[in-house]
Structure 1
Amino acid sequence: MSLSFIRRFFSSPVTAEAMSAATQKAQSIIDGNAVAVFSKSYCPYCNQTKKLLKDNNAEFYALELDQEEDGSAIQDALEKLTGQRTVPNVFIGQKHIGGNSDLQAKAKELKSLLSSVNAIKA
């Protein structure tokens, strides 16, 4: 049984106020970064996503939800925004890409996609 399942099972429901704040925070991160990755530090799929981005010299912002006090509320907000509950949850150019398998499927076109949003390190 995963820690996130246990935490979610025993945690109190997110209040409307907390959900609103989490939604604003998530949207601010998405809007303020050419590439945003909502991740969990222990997740192997998240690590694969960040490695692929690093290998392509991408500048990206990664928020480790398991290290944020409001991480579960942000994850709930992302689910409402995208329909995706799992991590990683990737945005490029403010567009939802999906998870690791979605990003890996775009590996051949990733450089071009990153260049189009000015997210390549010089």
Structure 2
Amino acid sequence: MEKVTRLANEKGVVIFSKSSCCLCYAVHILFQELGVNPAVHEIDHDPEGREIEKALLRMGCTAPVPAVFIGGKMVGSTNEVMSLHLGGQLTTLLKPYVSS
């Protein structure tokens, strides 16, 4: 859990992902289209990936990936991100992290 917290705080927007996950890719592309370049951690390439996955679930993420953190706080998985986006709140959350 400590590693997840450390990685989640290393950049403004962080996505825990798996390289073969199409929803992870879609969330990543959404952020890029909104002008944000998130840090992406491919947990299937991390030797501690299983532990990271378990920690994300314990932290309350509805699905282990994608797990999105903004400003060090867990936003959630695809459903939560898309709900925020459709409701107009995602751009507000991402505003401090938009690349110029």
Q: TM-score range by the shorter chain?
A: 0.7 to 0.9
> Deviations for 1:85-117, whole angstroms, at most 9, x for unmatched residues?
4210111112211111211111132222111xx
Unaligned runs of 5+ in 2: none
Hey, which of these two has a bigger chunk of helix by percent? Answer: 1
3-state DSSP class of the match of 1:111?
A: helix
Residue of structure 2 equivalent to 1:34: 12
Q: Determine which structure has more spread, i.e. the larger CA radius of gyration.
A: 1
Q: Is it true that 1:43 corresponds to 2:21 in the alignment?
A: yes
8 Å contact 1:57–1:120 — kept in the other structure? yes
> Deviations for 1:49-98, whole angstroms, at most 9, x for unmatched residues?
10110110113111001111111111111222225342101111122111
Alignment of structure 1 residues 8-23 onto 2, 5 Å? 23=1
8 Å contact 1:76–1:85 — kept in the other structure? no
- Where relative contact order (Cα < 8 A, 6+ residues apart) is larger, the structure is 2
Match among 85, 90, 100 for residue 78 of structure 2: 100
Scaled by the length of structure 2, the TM-score of the pair is 0.87
Distance 2:63 2:21 in 1: 14
Match among 58, 63, 85 for residue 80 of structure 1: 58
My pick for the range that moved more, 63-72 or 78-87, is 78-87
Distance 1:73 1:50 in 2: 22
Aligned-residue RMSD, C-alpha: 1.4
Tell me which amino acid in the other structure corresponds to 2:90: L
Percentage of pairs with the same residue = 27
> Deviations for 1:27-68, whole angstroms, at most 9, x for unmatched residues?
101122211111101101101110110110113111001111
Residue of structure 2 equivalent to 1:56: 34
Distance 2:4 2:14 in 1: 10
